[in-house]
Amino acid sequence: MEYTGGVMVKPLLQENPQQVSTGRGQWQSVRGEYFLPKKWSIQAGYYRTTLDYGHTNRTMEGISIGAKRYFVPNDWLVQPYVGAAWQFNWSGRREEYTSGWESVGQSVVVRQTAVNPRVTFVPSVGVDVYLFSSVALVVRYDLGIGIDSRTRIEATTNDGTTFRIKDKGLYHGLSLGIRLTFPMHFSERDLQSVGGLGGLLFDLWDESLDRKLQEQILYR
């Protein structure tokens, strides 16, 4: 079982002459993974992606089905991989709306026309870092290639200036998450890791306490 959330999600734009910020997108996914022989695995689960275009956004969600290929021995704590998935979007196919606002004598009218893909191909590269035998930190980069997808946004000010943003359904992002392997088990190495972490935290606490005592003695 794996949960990931996007720390950086952005559309890959064809046109953005005014350099409008588009970095506030989000995505989440929950997937189950079944391991196959020869370091292959298959995955399936739920995803939700929101792409930010500064003035507006668009959202896709649905099911994801894919596969991954690992490369190093199974007992290594760091497990790099490459993968690919197909995402099937069940949310709205088209998003069209007009909005606007006024501030200090200026007004802006925003018109968006977006066609969300029904199917997106997502190649990925990532690494699982095992903190314990059954618990891993996930770091993954994804490139989304929306099939028959596009976005066009025009923002027009009251003085006639028009800002345009366009894309062809491409986006990318970096995700962090956590992976749990079932059936869960804990090894002697896990106990050593817990002991080492506990010792480190105790040393930091003890050092902080000593520093505070020294400061109290100094200011008496």
DSSP letters spanning 161-188: -EEEEEEEEEEEEEEEEEEE-SS----H
Name residue, tokens 């002697």.
Answer: 188
Here the tokens at position 165 are 């943003």
Evaluate the omega torsion of the peptide bond into residue 183 and state whether it is cis, within 30 degrees of 0. Answer: yes
The domain locations on the chain are 2-186, 187-220
Q: pLDDT band at 22, cuts 50/70/90?
A: confident
Q: Which range, of 71-75, 82-86, 137-141, 143-147, averages the lowest pLDDT?
A: 71-75
Q: What is the pLDDT of residue 105?
A: 74
Name residue, tokens 């490459």.
Answer: 82
Here the tokens at position 153 are 């946004």
Give, as one character, the DSSP assignment of residue 39. Answer: T
Q: What is the pLDDT of residue 54?
A: 82
Task: Of 190, 174, 181, give the one whose Cα is nearest residue 136.
Answer: 181
pLDDT tens for 141-199 read 999 999 999 999 888 888 878 888 899 999 999 999 999 988 766 665 655 555 555 55
Name residue, tokens 């026309």.
Answer: 113
Q: Which CATH architecture has domain 2-186?
A: Beta Barrel (2.40)
Tell me the mean pLDDT in the region 38-53.
94
pLDDT tens for 180-193 read 988 766 665 655 55
